[in-house]
Amino acid sequence: TEQCVLTERRDGYTVITLNRPDKLNAFNVEQHRQLKAALAECARDDDCRAVLLTGAGRGFCAGQDLSDRDTGMSGENPDLGATIEAYYNPLVRQIRALEVPVICAVNGVAAGAGANIALACDIVLAARSARFIQAFAKIALVPDSGGTYWLARFLGEARAKALALTAEPLPAEQAADWGLIWKAVDDADLMDEAHGLCASLASGPTRALALTKQAIQAASVNSLDQQLDLERELQREAGYSGDYREGVSAFLEKRPAKYTGR
């Protein structure tokens, strides 16, 4: 089988690289299967304290492989809802449910579901030359993989609608200025910066970071009262961790904290 996804273990974190560069890493079923397995392995592995997702070659991901219709989707009335249900929605949920931070290094164009999978990640860095394209309208489809949610939530309706209805590319720099992603960095610096960030998160208080991710994701559906209650419960849990004791000791002893993730 084609190696559509490469994984590499680094010190404390895992690098996952989409690897169909001739197709700008567009998704076929095999790439979906391998990515799902790679993310599941990260969830199982206690030594994996951050994940770095990126793409091989000049693109990050061009969404669904439009030439790959061997998924029962050929014929006159393909049920695209079935692909979404079987592959794209579980992928977005898997990324959001992963406890450790998922960093996305968008190394080049991110189009269609490729853009929205990037936006599902916790921290998105993009090469200055990268573009985000809600390509769906160009082929008479609707943004999926959370696209309508991310755009409306991060940008507001005005920008969300214009991007989705026109399918115009959004340059990385503007995506960062608008708050769609964390930051745009010079192409040559992207991977160094992404690795540095992952290494730093991987040596952080993993449990507290997981609880923080959970709280921020819950904020979008909670009232302030619900969120205050949730913060109380998560803080209670964080306060029982060895890393909290270490963090406070290190502060009082004026030395760097040495977190174990527990």
14 or 134: whose CB is closer to ligand T3D? 134
Q: Is 20 in the site for ligand T3D (CB under 6 A)?
A: no
Site string for ligand T3D, 78-97 (x = CB under 6 A): --x--xx-------------
Q: Name the residue with tokens 């930051």.
A: 183
Q: Quick check: 163 binds ligand T3D (CB under 6 A)?
A: no
Binds ligand T3D (CB under 6 A): choice among 48, 56, 104, 109:
109
64: contact with ligand T3D by CB under 6 A: yes
Instruction: Report 170-209 residues binding ligand T3D (CB under 6 A).
Output: none
Structure tokens at 167: 């399918």
Find the shortest distance in angstroms from Cβ 76 to ligand T3D: 15
Residues binding ligand T3D: number (CB under 6 A): 23
The torsion defined by the Cα of 171, 172, 174 and 176, in degrees rounded to 10, comes to 160
Considering only the stretches 110-118, 153-161, 200-208, 232-240, report the one whose residues sit in contact with ligand T3D under the rule CB under 6 A. 110-118
Among 65, 105, 127, 213, binds ligand T3D (CB under 6 A): 65
Query: Applying CB under 6 A, which of residues 37, 139, 216, 248 lies at the interface with ligand T3D?
Result: 139
Q: Does 143 bind ligand T3D (CB under 6 A)?
A: no
Beta strand pairing status for 109-111 and 59-61? parallel
Residues that bind ligand T3D (CB under 6 A): 23-24, 26, 62-67, 73, 80, 83-84, 109, 111-113, 133, 135-136, 139, 141, 144
